[in-house]
A and B are shown apart, each in its own frame.
Chain A
Amino acid sequence: GAVVSQHPSRVICKSGTSVKIECRSLDFQATTMFWYRQFPKQSLMLMATSNEGSKATYEQGVEKDKFLINHASLTLSTLTVTSAHPEDSSFYICSASRVLLGEKLFFGSGTQLSVL
């Protein structure tokens, strides 16, 4: 079946540095990818919709200059957390779909970001 690969699975960084997270669709082309964030014991919150070849659409309250999204190809979307701070520490998950049907939305394995 279709697989979404997310890398890295875990990253620890110093405050003020930038961190890039990659999301790849391995065996299908994804015109749209989604980025979610989950704080401990809380729900997964949609951050942005990443469209290939165009600007990402951010949800209300998500800083586009803080969370840079690039969807340069049909198989790769990246999320860069710029000038990370401890409050950015969270679990980030991407999802991708070949056909926009719920069950065809495949999730990556997530990235645990810890900012010291």
Chain B
Amino acid sequence: DQQVKQNSPSLSVQEGRISILNCDYTNSMFDYFLWYKKYPAEGPTFLISISSIKDKNEDGRFTVFLNKSAKHLSLHIVPSQPGDSAVYFCAASAWIYNQGGKLIFGQGTELSVKP
């Protein structure tokens, strides 16, 4: 049972435009969500996170939106740059159940930003 889902395996965006990556989850115990960027044969790099008590968190070009009722989160990158091309994973954890360190990852979305 896939508790965290990224239904788009790939996304192609023009440089300077907005990239929107989506993620859905099924487990209502999750209370902390993260986005990671990953290159092949490398470990994930943390991008941005959001607690379930918030609905938006912004850090530079990256904004994460959380819709708890829909169990949906999204990562917006604006403006997109060619260097943003990578695989993006969303992840969730359940701090309330002392499971904060255990991340459940989505399948990833490969973002390609065209110059």
Chain A residues with CB under 8 Å of chain B are 4, 6, 9-10, 32, 34, 36, 41-46, 49, 91, 93, 95, 97, 100-103, 105-110, 112
Contact = CB atoms under 8 A, between A and B. Distances in A.
A44 B37 CA distance: 12
A103 to B, nearest CB: 5
Contacts of A41: 9, 108
Interface of B: 4, 9, 32, 34, 36, 41-46, 49, 89, 91, 93, 95, 100-108
A34 B93 CA distance: 13
A49 B44 contact: no
Nearest to A33: B101
A44 B89 CA distance: 9
B46 to A, nearest CB: 6
B34 A103 contact: yes
Contacts of A103: 34, 46, 49
Contacts of A100: 95, 100-101
Nearest to B98: A100
Top 8 closest A-B pairs, CB basis? A107-B43, A44-B105, A43-B105, A43-B107, A100-B100, A102-B49, A100-B101, A102-B34
